Amino acid sequence: MSVCFFRGWRKKHERELTPEGGKVNTVMKIINTQVIADTQNTRLVKLTIHAPLIASRGRPGQFVILMVNEHGERIPLTLVDTDPKNQTITIIVQELGYTSRLLAAMRAGDSLYSLVGPLGHATPSRKYGKILMVGGGVGIAELYPVIRLLKTAGNTIYSILGARTKDLLILKDEVEKFSDKLFIATDDGTFGEKGFVSNILERLLKEDKDFQVAYCVGPVPMMKVVANVTRPYNIKTWVSLNAIMLDGTGMCGCCRLTEGGKTRFCCVDGPDFDAHQVDFDELASRQKRFLDEEKIKNHE
């Protein structure tokens, strides 16, 4: 059922996206690629993609699901930026498994097999007051558009970014542009403070009682720690969850999680969830479901 739904959506929107008299392969074309971080073990690539409808409708917090080729898997990626004027969207991918490596290897002029979006609920544009924004690793790519949104809404933004090392710290200048204060931590101390974002977070919470909201995106263990740090201070804390997905419509159930004892679906109920209500242990376990299959695919 989900496959039929997806194929029908794709045919409909390819016609909608294709300029009159043009060819279907002009849709979902890669306009530009840029390697923004590259170390021995990790590589992150920013891609700009021609996607007129998504560019006109996508909002901060939403995501897309794409396929690199006809036989590939479908993977969700956050909308880092949208440009309605130029009819493009921007995503950032970290090479981890087979499909992310294929995507990162694409070049300008290549076309994706499919691209669906915008999906999920956009993050509300509200004025809370003073906000803590915490991002780790590639999660900074998801945090940045929300920082920009909430700063535009009139909030005071304290941003905390974390990475394993200086060479993996992404979007620093972009985040700094929309932040009133920026703090950086690296595991090895090559940039900013040596340590973890949670150390900076706890220090700020002890020094300043005026923070109204915290928003966090990053690895599951990091988000769990951040939730535990903010809980004693009774600060509303949101996390953006990018769980394993298939159809992105709530039918397959792959991205289900537990929030406040109730089953939710990341694709249709999220991606933002109450960090103090999420069962992070269950989420971490579910994220490991296909590790064996991924290892086999990576060695083919």
Q: Which residues of 255-290 are buried (b: 16+ CB within 10 A; e: fewer)?
A: bbbbbeeeebbbbebbbbbebbebebeebeebbeee
Residue 290 has pLDDT above 70, yes or no: no
The answer to whether residue 224 sits within a structural domain is yes
Q: Which residue has the higher pLDDT, 50 or 288?
A: 50
Determine, yes or no, domain membership for 216: yes
Residue 281 clears pLDDT 90, i.e. is over it: no
Domain identity same for 57 and 196: no
Rounded to 10 degrees, the C-alpha dihedral 285/288/289/294 comes to 180
- Is residue 170 over pLDDT 60? yes
Residue with tokens 């981890």: 96
CA distance 114 to 181: 39
pLDDT category at 3 given cuts 50, 70, 90 is very low
Q: Which of 121, 142, 126 is nearest to 58 (CA)?
A: 121
C-alpha–C-alpha distance, residues 244 and 259, integer Å: 16
Residues 214 and 280 in one domain: yes
Instruction: Note the pTM of the prediction, 2 decimals.
Output: 0.83
b/e sequence 178-191, b meaning 16+ C-beta within 10 Å: bbeebbbbbeeeeb
Q: What is the pLDDT, as a whole number, of residue 158?
A: 97
One domain for residues 166 and 63: no
Measured CA to CA, the distance from residue 285 to residue 245 in angstroms comes to: 15
Residue 151 domain-assigned?
Answer: yes
Instruction: Average the pLDDT over each of 7-21, 123-137, 203-217, 254-268 and give the range with the smallest value.
Output: 7-21
Q: Which of 70, 137, 119 has the alpha carbon at shortest distance from 99?
A: 70
Q: Distance from first CA to last CA of the chain, Å, rounded?
A: 30
Does some domain include residue 178? yes
* Any domain includes 293: no
**What is the domain extent for residue 270?**
130-287
In a domain, 298, yes or no: no
CA nearest neighbour of 139 among 63, 82, 38: 63
- Which band of pLDDT confidence, cut at 50, 70 and 90, is reported for residue 287? low
283 vs 175, higher pLDDT: 175
What are 253's two structure tokens? 């159930």
Q: Please tell me whether residues 110 and 38 are part of one structural domain.
A: yes
With tokens 């004892």, the residue in question is: 261
Q: Indicate whether 103 belongs to any domain.
A: yes
141 and 115 assigned to the same domain: no
CATH number reported for the structural domain that contains residue 62 in this entry: 2.40.30.10
CATH code for the domain in which residue 193 is found: 3.40.50.80
Each residue's pLDDT tens digit, 113-161:
989 889 999 999 999 999 999 999 989 999 999 999 999 999 999 999 9
How does residue 280 score in pLDDT terms, banded at 50, 70 and 90? confident
For 81-106, how does the pLDDT look when each residue is reduced to its tens digit (9 = 90+)? 999 999 999 999 988 888 888 999 99
Both 99 and 19 in one domain: the answer is yes
Give the per-residue pLDDT at 277.
Answer: 93
pLDDT band at 230 (very low <50, low <70, confident <90, very high): very high
Residue with tokens 């045919």: 11
Which residues, other chains included, contact 244 with Cβ-Cβ below 8 Å and sequence gap of 6+?
254, 255, 286, 287, 289, 290
Summarize pLDDT for 19-69 with one digit per residue, the tens.
Answer: 333 343 456 899 999 999 888 778 899 999 999 999 999 999 999 999 898
What pLDDT was estimated at residue 123? Answer: 93
